[in-house]
Structure 1
Amino acid sequence: MPRSSERKGPPRREGLPPRFYQQKSIAQIKIHQSSLDRILEENEQLRACHQPTATPPPTVLETNAHKNNEGNEAAQNPIVEERPWFTHIKTSDPPIWIGEMADAAFATRFRQFASSPQTPSHIPRVQYATDETLLSLSSSSLTWPSPTRARFLAEAALRSLCRCYHIVRRSEILSALETMTQDGLRPPKEPIFVSKMWALFAIGELYANRSAASSLTFPGLAYFAHASEMLRVVSERPQLDVVETMLLLSLYSLQLNRRHSACILAGSAMRVATVMGLHLTIDHAHIPDAEIREHRNRLWWTTYVFDRMWCSKVGLPVLVSDDDISVDLPSEAHGPNADDFVDHEYLKAGVKLAKIAGTITKSIYDRRNTRGPFSRRVQEVRKALRLWSEELPAHLQLNQPIKPDGKVISQQLSFNQLLILTTRPILLLVLREHLAALRGTGEESRIPESARAIADACCRAARHSCSLLEECWINGTFHVFDYFYTQYLFSAATVLAISSLLGQADSHSDAEGFENAMNFLEQLQQSGNFAANEFCSHVNGIKNLLQCLSSPDSSSGEPMPASTPSWDTQLSVFDIGIAHTAESAVYDPCLQQFLADDSLDLSLFDGFINDEELQSLC
């Protein structure tokens, strides 16, 4: 047998940018040799067992996933490149790390794939409240609001926070405001409590406004700057107020599109919480008050949710392993201040989603993953999402006779986003093969049905999100500064843009859905939404790409077909004959079938990807 170093690699594809073709390192050559050895070993085992039917040889991913004797050969995956992604921008001396898990990074990869042989550059994120602005505001004087204004801002903050999170206790905040009013508007003496109140005022002012004239007049920014300034001293004996304040500042930072700051603050809150032992169960003997114990438990799990969900937005690793956590999950609260505690079933469902988000970060987007073939990891996440959907209490489901409240819609959007994160790399693979077939450099029939099922699930989740967000826009519950809804809208819009190029029966309607989402983002941008301002730059790049591909002089030589079906629409898993309403879409039977179908063999698409292709995907 010839040496692996003398073997020729797979043929070069015109559908991929030239930068993806690189010389293999010596380490990769060793992996190939071990793969060949493994194939020979398994062949011998098959002969010894006298199998009556032939078993296909291990695919590229499966053979590369097998560990050698020293256990240091990790499975490759089709999500990330071999090397970390860094880019240079004028406003930063060191190169900026780009996490492939981020929505903006995926949008860039989409443009690069579809623009072949050109390779568009990543559009850097520069639309956020700057450090200089915050320092300037923190050094200026700020007057404590009047009693009426303070109560109004606190009420606005509490209503927005208590809808989805447990960070502060409502009774404690309102009692403190009443005490301050009786004391003649004098702020409390404890600096950390003052910082927490500033942070609450910032969030309250944010949700009480509908537009911002400029970044300097962004609602709540001055309050936020002063709250941040008071946290400069790291407490040696931190109290719950410290964790609460960090979480409030982290949440507000996202609205400023300061994603890195939000992750740092959430991570700091996580570390402070572990120093305080919030991740451990504390008994009645140490804290007799049941409400205080429940507050501690819920505060920990909110910190947990922030860490994992925020990390999933940029691709950062989680800080604390699930194995190190032994605190009880949120439980039903009783007592005189039961209104301080949101529905415990809702919080538990959010914790489970956050755990899945951490799994996706580690299992799907970690380039050093050692958990086996990519298909197996996708299968694990798919089963976890299915289990979450099956265990969701009836009052938290959207397919109910009564209209669901905002927190239920928000949680379903989060579920859809996790499904998109899991499946969209395969959607990009399917797009590549489709474009290669149109350009005459490949065959679309090469796409296995399992890969099509995954891509279809991604498109359906995006349509569901758009349906929900459109309904929120119509009924006025889509707040103009809400980072999460803005992110979900951009993520779904990018998927719809890809779907519009696939030549399916839904491609034309998905193109219209992309246009509609783009219009929403532009309106949010005009209102002063920092995140929408960033995402609009990517959406405009995608729009220009779609216009280029639809023109007769595109790289394929012919305009892209608008809606010619190229997939077998008779398959039940691809059936598209349902109405895309907000309620029925979320419980789309085809999407539920994808999650529940244990017979779907996702390992079939492992052989759909070779070594060169592994390094070209985001």
Structure 2
Amino acid sequence: MHSEGSRLSTSGDSLRIDGSAVVKSQKRSVACYRCHSQKIKCSGGKPCSRCRQAGYTAAQCSYANRDRKVRIDESYLEQLVQDSQELHARRENDHQAKFIEPSVDSYSRSSKPTNPISAANLVHKEVWFQTKESSLPVYINEAACIAFATRLCQFLRPNDSPGLYASQRNYIDDSTLASQAELDTQWPTLIYAQLLIKTALGHINPGFHLVLRKETLDGLKTIYQKGSFNDASAKCKYFALFAIGQVYSAPHSSPGSSMVPGTSYFVRALDLLRIIPERPTMIHIESLLLLAYFCQFLNRFNSAYLLIGNALRLGLSLGLNINMPKSQNLSPTEREHRVRIWWSIYILDRYWGSKSGFPIQIHDDDIHVDHPSVFNFKDYGEQFSEVTYQIAAIELAKITGCMMKEIYTQKKSAESFLKREQRILISLQQWINSLPESLRIFTDKADSKHTVLLHLQFNYCVVLAIRPVLLKFLTQHQKDQSMHLDEESKHIWMTLSQACINAARYSLRLCLNEWTSGSLVIFGYAFPAFLFSSGLVLAIASLLPMGHNNDLAAFETSMEMLKVLHDSNNIAAKDLYEHSLQVQRYINSKECSKDISGSRIIDEPRDIASSFQETTHREALGLEITGPQPCLDDIPQVSTPNSDFQHCEFTTEMVLQGSMMQDFLSRPPADMGLLDLPEIPNEFDAAFLWLDYDASAN
């Protein structure tokens, strides 16, 4: 006899399930379709005996699908629902735990972090969307400098402080551009047009080959000689060049004017690109790149991203990403022009993507075209710039693209963070060591501004690759969790943080040299970005034990330069300066000084030229102390904790050198998979991003 809860039904194939017990009844035999239709007994199998005798194959002997009825107790169903709800709740708690800092009490129960496996959340995984300005949310990537500044302010802010606005607030908006479109912008005189073109060609970064130099100047003369001013393609290209030439010609904006010089030419050229050609021409792609280049002066990175993307896809339709067969009847100039235009698109995509956080728009696996070359045809030197510069820019852009995919990505990687970090830094070290002599910086002679710009971009890549580690180091140090790290982890953390700080200090010195020599251009995005990114790192350095006492003063020096650019109507500088003010405000707060710096007082003014004095934090972290570190002028001398370069002039090559860094870079990749920084969940509040900061609130 069975109990009532486990009785077995004898009807057909029905089952009775009691809780977790399942009792099966005897299966009924099922006849195939042929036997069933003839109402004869079927032997089963495929084919059955009768189908086999009739010459049918296994595929022709088919059976009806059986859908057995299963009877389940209601209590069993309720238990399944409860188990499912508990599983969902557990998954939700695990997800939220990644973004919640453990309490001091919970941490004090253990001398080490509870999960020392991964540092993948050094780059925060929660996605930011700005919803203040538009009905459509605007995505903010963690690679953008303003995002990093917001993260820093979130950490530094007192509990009752107002929020910080994360997205850019200063740019030339659509309505302002529309007002410029109403102006009747005409061709300038030939002499002024030539001056503008030559100014543009002289100032555009040599890594960006946007037009053929001699052909562009000769074409301008032809237009004026023939009076052919109505050719839309030519007009678009030359007006874009006029815009660039005019913005580089202006030492500052007109008093009382909020408009960037050259904007009227830019708007007129943009207006001529209304139709996307089904069969594009090189002049159309040139125009797209020129307009994208000018967008930096307006701080319109979304527009630049769209224009570069259009140029890239039109370039794909022309096959610019593959080598042109020799059977095609093209001159050497045309062939080289195609190659250099393509690589200019590539560099623009990766350089500006790294500064704004946009993903790369084409992968290296889809590119099958050679690098730029040197040819011995007659007008090579008049048409093209030096090839070594663009090749160096291409290789640095490749590393930048890899960094964006491996460091700043939402994709979960099977490799440890340190393993990816090591690979990126090795690539950067190989790049700087392979740089030709003509592109190196020498202390005994003046360097061209374009060479300095290339080195600034390198330092920016180093900072971009390491600064998530630096910010996590700050959070560790503030909570005294760095004291619980083992010696090996402490060694790696200090090494990476010091390299990031060295790159920032050296970048700021290069910017200061450009400033004092008069080579730093007023308009544009590059120099403000370098100043801002370096200043943020030095602001953090001022709160860390390996920092100099005057790192904060160096940060304030970068702010002063940004302020001058801000007052000169550099739109990008306006945006970055406002974020710098918020960082400065939080650093100078008494709460921040007390909680973070310990014995170091940072809310009082410091003498910029004051000498460095060691703090007790150095001894606590076991750093080698060899005496006071010297400083030059108003920016600290670049140095490492073991003073590798204490008595020599610092160069870019030294950013990733030093015994500690070489030890990190020389570790076998297999070891890097077993070693990683402790996982420190972040406590940053995403809602903090969407609040407007009231500048009058103090």
Q: Shorter-normalised TM-score: what interval?
A: 0.7 to 0.9
User: What letter is aligned with 2:278?
Assistant: E
Structure 1: segments with no counterpart, 5+ residues:
1-22, 33-55, 63-75
Q: 1:549 to 1:338 in 2, by over 3 A?
A: farther
Q: 1:383, 1:557 → 2: CA distance?
A: 33
Q: Which residue of 2 aligns with 1:262?
A: 304
Is 2:472 the partner of 1:429?
yes
Q: 1:314, 1:529 → 2: CA distance?
A: 17
Max Rg structure:
2
Q: 1:209, 1:532 → 2: CA distance?
A: 16
Q: Which residue of 2 aligns with 1:570?
A: 624
Is 2:212 the partner of 1:169?
yes
Q: Deviations over 1:84-123 (max 9, x none)?
A: 112332x312222211100011011011112254673334
Q: Which residue of 1 aligns with 2:16?
A: none
Displacement of 1:404: 2.3
Q: 1:136 to 1:379 in 2, by over 3 A?
A: same
Contact 2:113 2:678 in 1 (8 A): no
- Of the three residues 478, 502, 521, the one matched with 1:460 is 502
Q: 1:237 to 1:576 in 2, by over 3 A?
A: same
Is 2:289 the partner of 1:235?
no
Is 2:324 the partner of 1:282?
yes
Q: 2:379, 2:239 → 1: CA distance?
A: 24
Is 2:415 the partner of 1:372?
yes
Matches within 5 A, 1:78-227: 78-89=121-132, 91-115=133-157, 117=159, 120-161=163-204, 163-184=206-227, 186-187=228-229, 189-213=230-254, 216-227=258-269
Contact 1:574 1:590 in 2 (8 A): no
Q: 1:181, 1:573 → 2: CA distance?
A: 60
- As a proportion of its length, which structure holds more helix? 1
Q: 1:442 to 1:324 in 2, by over 3 A?
A: closer
Matches within 5 A, 1:326-341: 326-339=368-381, 340-341=383-384
Displacement of 1:58: 12
Q: 2:647, 2:147 → 1: CA distance?
A: 28
Q: 1:301 to 1:264 in 2, by over 3 A?
A: same
Structure 2: segments with no counterpart, 5+ residues:
1-88, 99-111, 603-612, 626-638, 690-698
Q: 1:157 to 1:428 in 2, by over 3 A?
A: same
Contact 1:467 1:580 in 2 (8 A): no
Q: 2:97, 2:561 → 1: CA distance?
A: 48
Which range moved further: 314-323 or 290-299? 314-323
Please give the secondary structure, in 1, of the residue aligned with 2:269. helix
Q: Which residue of 2 aligns with 1:586?
A: 652
Q: Deviations over 1:20-68 (max 9, x none)?
A: xxx9734947999xxxxxxxxxxxxxxxxxxxxxxx9996545xxxxxx
Q: Deviations over 1:109-150 (max 9, x none)?
A: 011112254673334312111111111212321111011110
User: What letter is aligned with 2:182?
Assistant: S
Please give the secondary structure, in 1, of the residue aligned with 2:193. helix
Displacement of 1:354: 0.6
Q: Deviations over 1:311-349 (max 9, x none)?
A: 111222111111111001011133222222111111111
Is 2:522 the partner of 1:480?
yes
Please give the secondary structure, in 1, of the residue aligned with 2:447. coil
User: What letter is aligned with 1:211?
Assistant: H
Q: 1:292 to 1:335 in 2, by over 3 A?
A: same
Q: 1:110 to 1:580 in 2, by over 3 A?
A: farther
Please give the secondary structure, in 1, of the residue aligned with 2:167. coil
Is 2:678 the partner of 1:608?
yes
Displacement of 1:369: 3.2
Across the aligned residues of Structure 1 and Structure 2, the Cα RMSD in angstroms comes to 3.2
Q: 2:591, 2:684 → 1: CA distance?
A: 28
Q: Which residue of 2 aligns with 1:25?
A: 91
Displacement of 1:403: 2.8
Displacement of 1:190: 3.1
Q: 1:94 to 1:153 in 2, by over 3 A?
A: same
Is 2:427 the partner of 1:384?
yes
- TM-score with structure 2 setting the length: 0.73
Q: 2:656, 2:95 → 1: CA distance?
A: 42
Displacement of 1:493: 0.5
Contact 1:462 1:495 in 2 (8 A): yes
Identity %: 30
- TM-score with structure 1 setting the length: 0.82
Q: 1:311 to 1:378 in 2, by over 3 A?
A: same
Q: 2:506, 2:387 → 1: CA distance?
A: 26
Displacement of 1:575: 3.2
Contact 2:407 2:465 in 1 (8 A): yes
